Amino acid sequence: MRSYLCVFMTLFTLNGLLSLDFSYHKYKELTVILKNYSQSYPKLSPSLYSIGNSREGRQLWVLELTATNKSAIGTPNVKLIANIHGNEAVGRELLLHLIEYLGENYGTDPTVTWIMRNTRIHILPSMNPDGFEKASEGMCVGEHGRCNLRNMDLNRNFPDFYVKNMYPSQPESTAIQKWMDKTPFILSASLHGGALVANYPFDTVKELTSLPINPPSISADDDVFRHLATVYANRHPKMHFGIACPDGGKNFTGGITNGAAWYPFQGGMQDFNYFKHGCMELTLEISCCKYPPARDLPQLWEDNKEALIEFITQAHRGIRGTVYDSRTEKPIPKANMKIIGREMMFNSSQNGEFWRILLPGKYRLQINATGFHSDIVPFEVIDHKNDLPQPTILRIPLFHTSLPKPTAPPPKPTTLFPPHLFTSTYPPSPAPDTKNYTKEIRDQNIYDNPVKLLRRKSNSGNWPSTNYVVFCIILTVNLLS
Ligand SMILES: *[C@@H]1O[C@H](CO)[C@@H](O)[C@H](O)[C@H]1NC(C)=O
Ligand SMILES: *[C@@H]1O[C@H](CO)[C@@H](O)[C@H](O)[C@H]1NC(C)=O
Ligand SMILES: *[C@@H]1O[C@H](CO)[C@@H](O)[C@H](O)[C@H]1NC(C)=O
Ligand SMILES: *[C@@H]1O[C@H](CO)[C@@H](O)[C@H](O)[C@H]1NC(C)=O
Ligand SMILES: *[C@@H]1O[C@H](CO)[C@@H](O)[C@H](O)[C@H]1NC(C)=O
Ligand SMILES: *[C@@H]1O[C@H](CO)[C@@H](O)[C@H](O)[C@H]1NC(C)=O
Ligand SMILES: [Zn+2]
């Protein structure tokens, strides 16, 4: 009785806010919770918005959180989506807990604080609220509630990299596409259930065949995708073992898999994110059971909490920058870009911004924009070892075609990098000593106090342990006296 009271009272100690219970929340409750969160964490300027309606008229709620200045240039946008399959319910609840975790730990936890000060995070806990209302708790397998109200699998409902998608576009997937047209997302996760693996593009293949062993469908950024999937799997206490789910699933080396190597399909959301918008999305299968009993949720949250946090930090890996008109200094939107050697284009944003997640190494960026001379800019991404990743920042002037094409600086056979590396003006400054490049790049980084990525031992969980102990002591004293 005493401990029951303790737990009960603890519910009311968290800054006066009711801490979210580990149960499943139907659409109406989800809406109330999100509205509550949108008022609860003013330091994270929460903004609750709907990207559209489901077939049955439910709002597709997104909560955005950030401690950055929303008009600042260059802040990466990250999105987390759950419940695209209505009967895969765990992610829906975990994302609500994640919102609370970010809100409660901002200002005290260094990693959370660093993330929120440098990132815009958009959370869509349910992409298929209609399907979820039909699905039933305890159903580990099966399809009931998977699709939307029109019986369409939303993860087959996107434009495909190789083929034309013949399925009529559903309101839920149309909403995602419109959302992505407006916001330049660069990193994303879609949370699923029914397996335990981090799955990365491509899912699609040129021709669907049914083979006992499927070859992988490799993308131009395979190294990056493998890295992102590995970050998640390694931070998850079980996923990285890659052990098959009990009901006869597959073993996955390292807990990651190329989508097509697992099983190929067309029209998936992660491929669309990547080839159309340059947004790197993973399909995270976080629970063997699709809709486990609510009593499993605390453990599932513990298993995925750190992995989700570390995954978000990866938005800061690689390069970012702006493309602008050398004469007017105005940003150039919709410039076409690619990393040479990686045949996957991406475009600059309305503000002339661009982002690309890349592993440490030396690269060249090609830029074409209508009305400007095209350019190729070499750059290096630095390995920050155990620190949180930090991007290389490039400011790239383009020269109007009415101006003479600037002559390239003379190649230096002894260095890989021509002198205009990392400079924002033309003509280039004299080549600095190559040994100083690292410092040069570091000087361009915006985060002067990189935070160490702490290998935190998972503690007892979501409960505010100090509050809890204090409360128990007070309560015990009260009861004894
Ligand atoms: C959130 O919900 C809790 C518990 O119902 C309530 O005490 C609190 O006032 C709510 N906060 C807001 C901002 O509505
Ligand atoms: C946010 O950034 C804009 C543009 O850089 C600036 O004008 C504005 O003052 C900033 N707002 C705050 C609160 O810092
Ligand atoms: C997965 O690996 C385990 C241990 O190595 C093995 O016992 C099991 O048969 C494998 N399962 C499948 C489906 O390959
Ligand atoms: C990027 O630019 C190309 C060429 O201008 C265009 O075809 C493509 O639709 C653009 N992508 C996006 C997401 O706007
Ligand atoms: C830029 O234009 C050239 C010439 O048309 C083309 O070969 C290259 O693929 C284009 N690159 C990008 C990033 O658009
Ligand atoms: C690096 O740059 C500094 C000044 O910018 C210079 O004094 C030094 O010689 C350079 N080279 C090395 C290897 O540090
Ligand atoms: Zn799924």
Local structure of 392: helix, strand or coil: strand
So which residues are the catalytic ones? 285
Would you report the helix, strand and coil content of the chain in percent, each value rounded to 5?
A: 30, 20, 50
What residues have CB less than 8 Å from 339, skipping those under 6 apart? 356, 358, 363, 364, 365, 366
Going by alpha carbons, the residue nearest to atom 12 of ligand 1 is 36
Q: Give CATH for domain 23-316.
A: 3.40.630.10
Say yes or no: CB of residue 347 within 6 Å of ligand 5. Answer: no
Per-residue model confidence as pLDDT tens for the chain (481 residues): 444 444 444 444 444 456 999 999 999 999 999 999 999 999 999 999 999 999 999 999 999 999 988 888 889 999 999 999 999 999 999 999 999 999 999 999 989 998 998 899 999 999 999 999 999 999 999 999 999 999 999 999 999 999 999 999 999 999 999 999 999 999 999 999 999 999 999 999 998 887 788 999 999 999 999 999 999 999 999 999 999 999 878 999 999 999 999 999 999 999 999 999 999 999 999 999 999 999 999 999 999 999 999 999 999 999 988 899 988 989 999 999 999 999 999 999 999 999 999 999 999 999 999 999 999 988 888 887 777 888 888 888 899 999 887 665 533 332 223 322 332 222 233 333 333 333 333 333 344 444 555 544 443 333 333 333 344 444 444 444 4
Q: Given this structure, which CATH class describes domain 319-444?
A: mainly beta
Sheet holding 195-200, edge to edge: 47-53, 59-65, 120-124, 77-82, 185-192, 280-287, 195-200, 256-258
Q: Evaluate whether 354 touches 320 at the Cβ level (below 8 Å).
A: yes
Q: Is the pTM of this model over 0.75?
A: yes
**pLDDT score of 33:** 98
Q: How remote is the CA of residue 180 from the centroid of ligand 2, in Å?
A: 24
Using CA atoms, how far apart are residues 240 and 256, in angstroms rounded to an integer?
Answer: 7
Q: How far is the CA of 326 from the centre of ligand 6 (A)?
A: 29
Cα of 124 vs centre of ligand 6, distance in Å, is 49
Pocket probe mutation, ligand 1, options 13, 14, 18, max atoms within 8 Å of Cβ = 18
Cα(333)–Cα(353) distance, rounded to whole angstroms? 8
Q: Which residue lies with its CA nearest to atom 5 of ligand 2?
A: 72
**Which pLDDT does position 3 carry in this prediction?**
47
Q: How confident is the model at residue 247, as a pLDDT?
A: 81
Measured from the Cα of 336, ligand 4's closest atom is: 2
Q: Return the pLDDT at 259.
A: 97
Helix (H) or strand (E) holding 305: helix 297-313
Ligand 4 near 276 CB (within 6 A): yes
Write down the domain spans for the chain: 1-19+470-481, 23-316, 319-444
